[in-house]
Amino acid sequence: MSEPMPSWEDLNAYVDGELAPPQAAAVARALAEDRKLADQVAALTRLKAAVHETVAGVELPQIAPQRHSRRLAVPIAAAAALLLVVGAGLFLGVLRPAEPVWLARVLAAHRQWVKDDRRLDEPLQAGVVLARLHQLDPDAQVPDLAAARLAVDFVGPFDPDGKNQGLLIGYVGTRSCHVSLLIFPAPAGLGEEQQEYRHGSASLFAWRAGRLGYVLTAVGMDESHLTLIARTVEQAIRERQPLDAEARTALRHSRNVSRPCAT
Amino acid sequence: MGGNDRQRIEAYLGRLFGYALSLGNDRDLARELVQECAVKALAARRTPVDEPAYRAWLFTILRHSFIDHTRRSGRAAGELDETMPLDGAQAWTATDGMISALTVKIGMAKLSSSHREIISLVDIVGLSYAEVASFLGLPVGTVMSRLSRARLCLLATLTTSNVRVLPEQRRRGGK
């Protein structure tokens, strides 16, 4: 006689290790025979891990202020050193290469998004981001910039070459900041090394990672802060890893000492 | 009281923050609540010796702080969404790529506070169903069904309306 199919509650309890051994064994037998059930359990397991990961490495309140400064000392020094190097590079004018033609489209797309204050008609569906990214290229990545108080607020197509092959990921901050990350098939001439371009109050940082080109841009944003964000995003994308604790701390500190965005 | 109490609380800071975030869906408020909880715990004359009891005690302090905050601010607590039928569990399909910390973070923000809370208590705080039942004053069966619904709602936010809301014409049509 076949056993009854496990319910959705049973599958949840199985994943949580809450079933008694005989029940757990019955669910395990059902999973072995039903691919859909096995997929659901796999998804529940991933979901559980992802929920846990959402708070991994967050900036926690410090109970002891004296420890706070000691813990932050190294990352802050690293961030300061990075900003110093970047600042020196800017001063020397070494980060001002000739502009590629597609750059104007990047800036126009960013300005259009900000101008229209476009959002999705419905609240942002979380799956939109990865579904569209996957459609563009399985290697495409969108780093989580919560440490800089920037949240993904918009995802839309970007047309760098008339083929509409790119995506614009719009991050919105809590101080009127709008940061766009544009992802598209890397055009000829776009190198691995990150390049910075300036257009008035707009800064654009462009680089290639594999088959894809990335541009991070914002208008009226604190230059040092945006530079650090661009470097951090590039590193996260290259390493295919979420931001590590040091990068998050550096971003948080940089945001705290930067001025709000000019509107 | 002293270093030991402080170290004892610090071991729970991450989970306290995750739980506080699930209650209010606001990072600044979450930090404030964790601070308040830590201050109250450190000021307590007696603390539970047994670790599970201590953990429950800490999270109860935080929960009461949140309730006090919502009363002070006049902010309504989220409504429990009981409308999602459990047999809808067959309706969703998730690809590997759709479930990540980033998408789950976005999805969690769209849940009711009750759903966020129960997911957080199990998946972030790490309580058993029996511990959650005791903590919330609910039967274990209710915890099971509420958690199942909450996860179903979360999965629904990850998997519905993927590309439909982003037609090319909408962007190009402009305003």
pLDDT tens per residue across span B17-63? 989 988 888 888 888 899 999 989 988 888 898 888 899 899 999 99
Residue B22 one-letter amino acid? S
Rounded Cα distance, B23 and B30, in Å: 8
Higher pLDDT, A225 or B5: A225
The highest-confidence range among B66-75, B149-158, B166-175, by mean pLDDT, is B149-158
Instruction: Look at A66-75, A101-110, B153-162 and tell me which has the smallest mean pLDDT.
Output: A66-75
Average pLDDT, integer, range A15-31 = 90
| Record: contact B154-A128, CB cut-off 8 A | no
Task: Give the global pTM.
Answer: 0.56
Rg from Cα positions in chain B: 19
CA distance A85 to chain B (A): 31
**Closest to A17 measured CA to CA, from A31, A7, A27, A29:** A27
CA distance B159 to chain A (A): 5
Interface of B with A in 57-116 (CB under 8 A): 86-87, 89-90, 93-108, 110
pLDDT tens per residue across span A68-107? 333 444 444 445 444 444 444 444 434 345 667 788 888 8
Chain A, chain B: beta-carbon pairs less than 8 Å apart = 169
Average pLDDT, integer, range A163-170 = 79
Residues of A within 8 A of B175 (CB-CB) are: 116
CA distance B23 to chain A (A): 14
- Report yes or no: B14 and B34 within 8 Å, Cβ to Cβ: no
For the record, the structure tokens of A156 come out as 């839309």
Structure confidence at residue A180 as a pLDDT band (50, 70, 90): very high
| Residue appearing with tokens 């958690």 | B147
Return the SS3 of A206: strand
Report H helices in B44-136.
Answer: 51-73, 101-109, 113-123, 129-136
Interface of A with B in 14-73 (CB under 8 A): 16, 18, 36, 39-40, 43-44, 46-48, 50-56, 58-61, 63-64
| Record: contact A58-B106, CB cut-off 8 A | no
CA distance A148 to chain B (A): 12
Burial of A20 (0-12, 13-18, 19+ CB in 10 A): exposed
CA distances from residue A150 to A89, A143, A146 in whole angstroms, order as listed: 26, 10, 5
Name which of B10, B110, B124 is nearest A63 (Cβ-Cβ): B10
Q: At what angle do helices B113-123 and B13-24 cross, to 10 degrees?
A: 160
- pLDDT of B135 > 80? The answer is yes
A119 contact partners, CB below 8 Å, separation of at least 6:
A153, A154
- For chain B, how many residues are written? 175
Name which of B97, B144, B161 is nearest A134 (Cβ-Cβ): B97
Interface of A with B in 234-253 (CB under 8 A): 242
Query: Is the ipTM here above 0.85?
Result: no
Check residue A93 and give its pLDDT: 39
Structure confidence at residue A198 as a pLDDT band (50, 70, 90): confident
